[in-house]
Amino acid sequence: MIERLELLLKEAETSIQNASDSKVLEETRVKYLGKSGLVTEALKGLGQVAPEMRPQVGKVSNEVKNRIAELLEQKKEEFESKGGASLPVGWDPSLPGRQSSLGKMHPLTRVQQEICDIFRSFGFDQVEGPDVETDYYNFRGLNFPLDHPARDAHDTFYLSDELLLRTHTTTLQVHVMEKHQPPLKVVAPGKVYRNEAVDATHHHIFHQVDGFLVAEGVHFGHLKGILDSWVKKFFGSKVETRFRPSFFPFTEPSAEVDISCVFCQGKGCRICKQSGWVEIMGCGMIHPAVLENCKVDPEKWSGFAFGMGVERVAMFKYDIDDIRLFYQNDLRFLRQF
Ligand code: DAH
């Protein structure tokens, strides 16, 4: 009996030592110490042992049981201190986990969508057009005659004498009105191009949102109302607008829209050059010549139009002082949005 118990202890020792994880260890415990485990079963034979031998056999069996329990406990602790049963060698569970990063929209895409979403909430439809345009859609249709000095501000990249990269998304006014008769309310976001030296406020590719509304009896008051509402939704309800006379060939009269400086609330600062106002977009009443070019009767219909640079608006909204930051793909910049 004693021999049998000592043999079981040896076996159990080897099994415990070789256990690869806590599951195997638990199986070993059940195998030897469980209700019908080998040690438990062996002890059932105690009744057949000669009475004078019983105390000694009882003592050894207790020692064997305790020793096995102790070995099991030691091995369990060893597993726990390693942080788990089946950890690969050299794996350090105390290292911080690797996070997978989620992509998100570029700030310009987001701002462009925010601009258009507000106009869409006013009932405007959103359209897109081609980046490569004819001289007609970019200039002549919009009342820029050949050799007109207003073309100087719109120098661009030419693919041929007639084909060019559009300098504004105002081209969509001609595209849309050629195909659809008023009433019309449209916003047109997209990329535009200029033959421009790159610096902190200029880039040869940038983005614009142009918009227009044509209906019966539309006047400058409607234009002011819509643009003032847009400004208050986009920049905040306390921001004021002011309309300054300007010139565009495709609008008459024309104006620039200024907003009270969002950084100093109109008091005067570095960004508004101490004036309290910053220019945010161009606008005006659509020139009758543009309506006529599109076979829309200017005696019956009138409309207003506006156009803004997405980068410029984003730079004011987020106090960004260099347009080039938008195109450098520097994650330290992009992650802030
Ligand atoms: N297209 C003009 C530009 O790029 C901006 C502009 C001004 C658009 C007045 C308009 C407008 O629709 O009415 O400089």
CATH of the domain at 169: 3.30.930.10
* Higher-pLDDT residue of 50, 260: 260
Phi, psi dihedral angles at 289 (to 5 degrees): -65, -35
139 shares its domain with 76: no
Q: Is residue 324 part of a domain?
A: yes
Tens digit of pLDDT for each residue in 93-122? 888 888 888 889 999 999 999 999 999 999
Domain boundary among 81, 98, 121: 81
- Same structural domain for residues 211 and 69? no
Q: Which residue type is seen at 210?
A: D
**Bridge partners, residue 277, by sequence:** 260
pLDDT value at residue 85 = 55
pLDDT tier at 328, thresholds 50, 70, 90: very high
Give distance in angstroms: CA of 152 to centre of ligand 1: 14
Q: Does 39 fall in a domain?
A: yes
pLDDT at position 226: 98
Token pair of 220 as six digits = 């400058």
- Give the count of domains, the chain: 2
Question: What token pair was written down for 155?
Answer: 């120098």
Query: CB–CB of 313/282 below 8 Å?
Result: no
In a domain, 23, yes or no: yes
Instruction: Sort strands 163-165 and 132-134 into parallel, antiparallel or unpaired.
Output: antiparallel
Strands 251-260 and 241-248, bridge-based pairing: antiparallel
Q: Which residues line ligand 1 (CB under 6 A)?
A: 168, 170, 210, 248, 251, 282-284, 305-307
Residue 86: pLDDT band (50, 70, 90) is: low
Is residue 310 exposed (0-12), middle (13-18) or buried (19+ Cβ within 10 Å)?
buried
Q: Which one of 81, 96, 119 terminates a domain?
A: 81
Residues 62, 117: one domain? no
Asked whether residue 225 falls in the same domain as residue 308, the answer is yes
End-to-end CA distance of the chain: 78
Residues 287 and 203 occupy one common structural domain: yes
Kindly state whether residues 130 and 199 are assigned to the same domain: yes
pLDDT confidence band for 79 (50 / 70 / 90): confident
- How many other C-beta atoms can be found within 10 angstroms of the C-beta atom of residue 80? 11
Q: What is the pLDDT of residue 83?
A: 59
Distance CA 132, CA 135 (A): 10
Range of the domain at 315: 107-334
- Ligand 1 atom at minimum distance from 304 CA: 13
Q: Quick one: pLDDT at residue 26? A: 83
**To test the ligand 1 pocket, which listed residue (210, 246, 291, 313) has its Cβ within 8 A of the most ligand atoms?**
210
- 256-273 mean pLDDT: 93
Q: In whole angstroms, how far apart are CA 314 and each of 106, 109, 177, 246?
A: 11, 10, 29, 23
Report the distance separating Cα 302 and Cα 285, nearest Å. Answer: 8
Question: Ligand 1 atom 4: the closest Cα is on which residue?
Answer: 168
Which of the residue ranges 53-62, 94-103, 167-176, 196-205 would you say has the lowest mean pLDDT? 53-62
Q: Among candidates 135, 231, 138, 122, which has minimal Cα distance to 186?
A: 122
Average pLDDT over residues 282-299: 98
Q: Which of 155, 304, 306 to mutate to test the pocket of ligand 1 (most atoms within 8 A of CB)?
A: 306
- 3-state SS class at 193: strand
Indicate the pTM of the whole model: 0.74
In a domain, 193, yes or no: yes
Ligand 1 centroid distance, CA of 39 (Å): 94
